[in-house]
A and B are shown apart, each in its own frame.
Chain A
């Protein structure tokens, strides 16, 4: 700066370069990504429980369109857990329903009708990926010819599962994936509410992006799944939750993980998901919001639950 005024220094453009470098250095100064330990809590909610949703009309969608569902159905109270899914994997691998192929577990899907619509991809009858085999971020591991949940993840919702993997699980046990309408009625009941528990969303109701639950660390790993039924009115190491079931007693119908539904739309190979996830902002947790992906997609924020005849 010797012999130069501030305005000259500024005009030289050097100050901008210094500012930019400083900014990059400062933003890089964050804690190295560490495997933040996963808290362990028993929610007390039974992942094997089912409830019956009665036949009848309900208000569907953002604009509360009256829809009559003419059949009753039973639906799982929670998402399928990692523990439940690895038992399926082990059993289905043993009996030959599934097989290992490269770095994935594959199973047969009988295919969909193809209409040749714009952007539509054909889904012929063949084997498809159910889950990846060696994804280090998956909540399960495959060692010594067996799948096991990673430590602490047994009662978390199953993730890293494709639509085919969700379909295959339900199909294996004689269940099926819920349709979008079934899912929505189970989530919101009949009174047109936007969230399963009522009309307002707080961080004590559901797991969403930066909602402050004990599992998330926004500096490193970001938002993580919570065990199924976590938002049940219990307090976990000072984190107070509100009991947030749907009118029929289902938990986690908003937030935590997107849930695959079974709808197959003509002219479209994408599969829909409902409910929003740990990685979404609150508007995506409204019960009518949908997401979709190719049926082979899997990720850390997508799970499912099944329905069956009551």
Chain B
């Protein structure tokens, strides 16, 4: 194929965008609306999961050590725990620190006490990446020589695991439904738009155009519509997301302590390729398959 033929096909694809203004507008609007909903739900659900993850990381397990344990063994146990994949952070609290905290909370100070009544309470506080692995970690801690007792909150962990699972399923469900609705609406719009122009395709074929020559401008047009249709909602979601973060931080300060929003870059590192992929992919597949129906002339 001559290079100028290829450029001609690409140029015609661009020109088609303006030749068929109403079709372009309808397609871009449909794609934008679908991907806007998709983007918005994705941002909400991703943040919800992020917040849950943050709360989850506040759940800890306490490993109480034997009273007569050596400093060396204490360090060894600390290293063993820290190496575990489900562990995010470990904090060592000595028996003296434990007593000081306890006395301060209950009696105001340690004055009047000669001995440490909590001398067997040196412990590690362990924060986890994922609470679903709590039971495995607890079993492991119990097996360590030098650990006398493990305190855990099984109910909290189970609640988090349950809520996370529900959020996961709901997220997948909503995103899948939105994705399917988007595909259906967008490909329908592209199909109707090209259906109207089947005569044009037939004329091309009657005068000897190859399938590629007849199809290429429509496919390029479909992909361009996909690109435009995905950029508009991305820009809209970007502004709405930023504004929402500023609004929450400014209006409900108590909420902003509790709710940590995902940084916009992190949301968009997923959303940009997915939205453009959906837009371009549907534009390509929709126009390719629809034109094919009219090529057998």
| Binding between chains A and B | no
